[in-house]
A and B are shown apart, each in its own frame.
Chain A
Amino acid sequence: MAGKKEYTVPEFRPYPVIPILQEDAMVGDGPFIAKPNHQEDLGFPGELVENWEEKAIEKMGDMLKKYRSLQVYLDSCVKCGACTDKCHYMIGSKDPKNMPVARQDLLRSVYRRYFTFAGKYFPKLVGARDLTRDVLDEWYNYYHQCSQCRRCSVFCPYGIDTAEISMAAREIMAAVGHGQKYCNEIIGKVFKIGNNLGLPEPALRDTLEGLEEDLEDDTGVAVKIPLDVEGADILLVTPSADFFAEPHIDGLMGYAKVFHEAGVSWTVSSYASEAANFGMFIGSYENMRQVSLRIREAAIDLKVKRIVFGECGHAWRVAYSFLNTLAGPFDFLDQNYPIPQHICEFTLDMIKKGELNLDKSQNDDKTVTFHDSCNVARATGMGGYPGGQFDIPREVIKAVCNNYYDMPPETIKDQTYCCGGGGGLLTDDLMDIRIKGALPRMEALKQVVDDYQVDHLAAICAICKSQFTKVLPYYKFDMHMIVSVHQLVSNAIVLEGQEVDDDE
């Protein structure tokens, strides 16, 4: 692999000591800046406006009135230091500005200077500073080294959520014309075409037909992946990576098989062919709302009764926690089902009802562990009870797979470590921090690989899957270790009418 040498991959720590700080380890220019057209498509100024300092402060003032989280969190931190060793980017990069509280302070110092008595009159005393070009550049760099994973929020005595601060900072930067190319370009594609990839309807139809052929070749059964079918019961909204990226695509085939066996009618929409919602990453309520409304409109147009989301972490956050707010009320859907429902909830339900004929031994060649995606774990639920988001994917895996082991308890469930590529960081221009941020997860994986010979890492997030595919090799793991949960389901399902050859 060319280019691999450019990055220094952190060493596994013999035991999990907290690293010694290395100032400015990750200093830099940050990711590519959005081009004028990327910005303007989203309603932001094309480039850094002339009086940006003034505009940024104005925007901050506006957001302080709109977001209690921002107001309370900027005031309340006591600098106790409890969060300082909780961020995977800090652990992997050793840069002190990647300590959650230090990341918050980049913004808090400016908040204090312009909005608090102490910061106005005694700036040195309370660490307040003017908003200068250097500060803006520092914001841009370090607020794009936060995957908004909320691990720090779990451990803060006041639940201070650095993700909220990062989102606010990114929103302020976009609003003065200094947005991030990767996220903004993608959101523009959703507005124009309907998905992050910019895959138009005919291409999508082609792709799905190709997949149907593969499924039929594989199983001998005509499993369909319907597109834009009016009157279907279920609208499946899934990350567009599921349509073509590996290993995502095998997950999509898994959903198709589950729906097929459950005997429900379902459809994908070309208009809302994207579960991902990068509006969240850039902290823009309005952009997030516009993307979400496409799902509402698709559901109305296709006259569906239910909405089910495919495997995607932040998308599930937007779906579970925000969709009702952003695009509700969903009074036109069938109220007997969760709105929206996660594919794992759906599948487990079918497994429990005995609708799926499963042959677990089909996965006997694998020993599996599960990566709790941060957004699913810390920002959503499943199953209607606290902790369902941890149990349900595991129950699904264990129902289709004989060999399962969890990674160490302090690295899973609500303490899970991010894959390193979330929050709008899944772009090649941020490869260095992505590799470094994966360290704690890779260390945890190493443990179960060594202790239990685990050889597959299952996930329910499109970003995690792409990120792991890229970073696993840097840590000397096979990139094919990463699988979709529904790929495991797919392997185990014996479709009605399918011939199985046992001695494969």
Chain B
Amino acid sequence: MGITTVIFALLFYIATIILFAGLGYKIYQYATTPAPLKIPTMPAPRTKGGVVVRMLGEVVLFKSLFRSNKWIWLFGYVFHVALLLVTIRHLRYFVEPTWWWIDLAQPFGKYAGFAMLLGLAGLLVRRIAVERIRYISAPSDYLMLVLLLMIGATGLMMSFVTHTDIVQFKAFMLGLMYFDWQPIPTDFVLLAHLSGVILLMVIFPFSKLLHAPGVFFSPTRNQVDNSREQRHIAPWAAELEASRSR
């Protein structure tokens, strides 16, 4: 087994731990930090079920963004849906035998790669060309898009140009999961693709990618409008009441 295999195996383990531990910590932090006041952006749903519908609208359709800016919505939506399809397609490297819906997603996932690049390119062009977005962009905002573009482009290259040995690659991935290491194919494009993915996993919990868990914890979107009917009080705020005379 070559040194490349060892390095990538170890990197995958480390990246996985950082991704899950980091995200787990962030989710725990969001879930346990109290929201002391009712601040839903009105008009807001009056029931929990209504909140679920509102949240689905945001997560599945990016509804607020649609109202806000059609171009950002278009590029952003195409990118995310494509990313989802591509991710589903990638599950085949982790499951043997593959589930039926993973098989079903294969052709879509394959071409979604192009859509993903298109969406990302649109976002990048806007970030560079629109004065207002350029003003608010830090280097990391461009680099994030560049990284995703790089991952997408190398992935597409393997699908359509310089095919890699995916049977061997699958053996490598499954080997990682079952602690029975198998050699990794060593062509450059694959290694570049994987390096990008590992980097993405590592920066996920430390970057703006936290918007993915964050959206579910946004008080303006996940609170029920029932403040007159039900008293809402955070533990630290309740403590202040100890000194209240009546």
Footprint of B on A, CB under 8 Å? 18, 20-21, 64-69, 71-73, 75-86, 96, 99, 101-102, 105, 116-118, 122, 124-127, 150, 153-161, 164, 285-286, 289, 293, 296-297, 300, 320-322, 324-325, 328-329, 338-340, 377-381, 384-387, 389-390, 414
Q: Does B199 contact A (CB under 8 A)?
A: no
Assess the B136–A385 pair: CB atoms within 8 A. Answer: no
Query: Is B89 in the interface zone, CB < 8 Å from A?
Result: no
Contact with A along B118-138 (1 / 0, CB 8 A): 000000001100111101111
Interface: B14 (CB within 8 A): no
Contacts A72-B30, A82-B69, A321-B38: A116 and B214 contacting too (C-beta < 8 A)? no
Question: How far is the CB of A477 from the nearest CB of chain B, in Å?
Answer: 29
Given the contacts A72-B214, A325-B237, A157 and B64 also touching, CB distance less than 8 Å: yes
| Chain B residue total in the interface (Cβ 8 A) | 65
A-B contact pairs, 11 of them (CB 8 A): A66-B36, A67-B35, A67-B36, A76-B208, A117-B206, A124-B139, A160-B218, A324-B230, A325-B36, A338-B228, A386-B44
Q: A325-B233, A414-B43 are in contact. Are A96 and B132 (CB under 8 A)?
A: yes
In the complex, the number of residue pairs spanning A and B with C-beta atoms less than 8 Å apart equals 214
Query: Considering only CB atoms, which chain A residue lies closest to B59 in the complex?
Result: A157
Partner of B36, one of A159, A285, A381: A285
* B62: Cβ under 8 A from any A Cβ: yes
User: Quick check: B35 and A68 within 8 Å, CB to CB?
Assistant: yes
Q: Are A84 and B132 in contact (CB under 8 A)?
A: yes
Contacts A76-B214, A155-B67, A158-B214; is A324 near B42 (CB within 8 Å)?
no
A46 to B220, CA, bound (A): 34
Closest Cβ of chain B to A17, distance in Å, is: 13
Would B136 and A155 count as touching, CB distance under 8 A? Answer: no
Closest A residue to B210 by CB, please name it: A75
Q: Which residues of A contact B65 (CB under 8 A)?
A: 80, 82, 155, 157
With A and B bound together, what is the CA distance between A385 and B229 in angstroms?
12
Which chain B residues lie closer than 8 Å to A68 at the CB level? 30, 33-35, 217, 219
Q: Are B215 and A158 in contact (CB under 8 A)?
A: yes
Q: How far is the CA of A285 from the CA of B239 in the complex (A)?
A: 13
Taking CB atoms, residues of chain A closer than 8 Å to B221 are 158-159
Which 9 residue pairs across A and B have the least CB separation, nearest first? A76-B214, A127-B138, A386-B43, A159-B220, A155-B68, A81-B133, A84-B132, A82-B68, A68-B33
Pair A72/B69 contact, Cβ less than 8 Å: no
Partner of B42, one of A20, A99, A414: A414
Contact partner of A389 (CB less than 8 A), chosen from B35, B43, B62, is B43
Assess whether A76 is in contact with B225, with CB atoms less than 8 Å apart: no
Give Cα distance in the complex from A1 to B154, angstroms. 68
Which chain B residue shows the least CB distance to A376? B42
Distance in Å: Cβ of B36 to nearest Cβ of chain A: 6
Q: How far is the CB of A414 from chain B (nearest CB, A)?
A: 7
Cβ-defined partner of B136 (8 Å) among A81, A86, A324: A81
- CB of B4 within 8 A of chain A? no
Query: Within 8 Å of chain A (Cβ to Cβ): is B141?
Result: yes
User: Is the pair B240, A286 in contact by a Cβ cutoff of 8 Å?
Assistant: yes
Which chain B residues border A18 with CB–CB below 8 Å?
A: 132
Q: Is B155 an interface residue (CB 8 A)?
A: no
Minimal beta-carbon separation of A279 from chain B (angstroms): 12
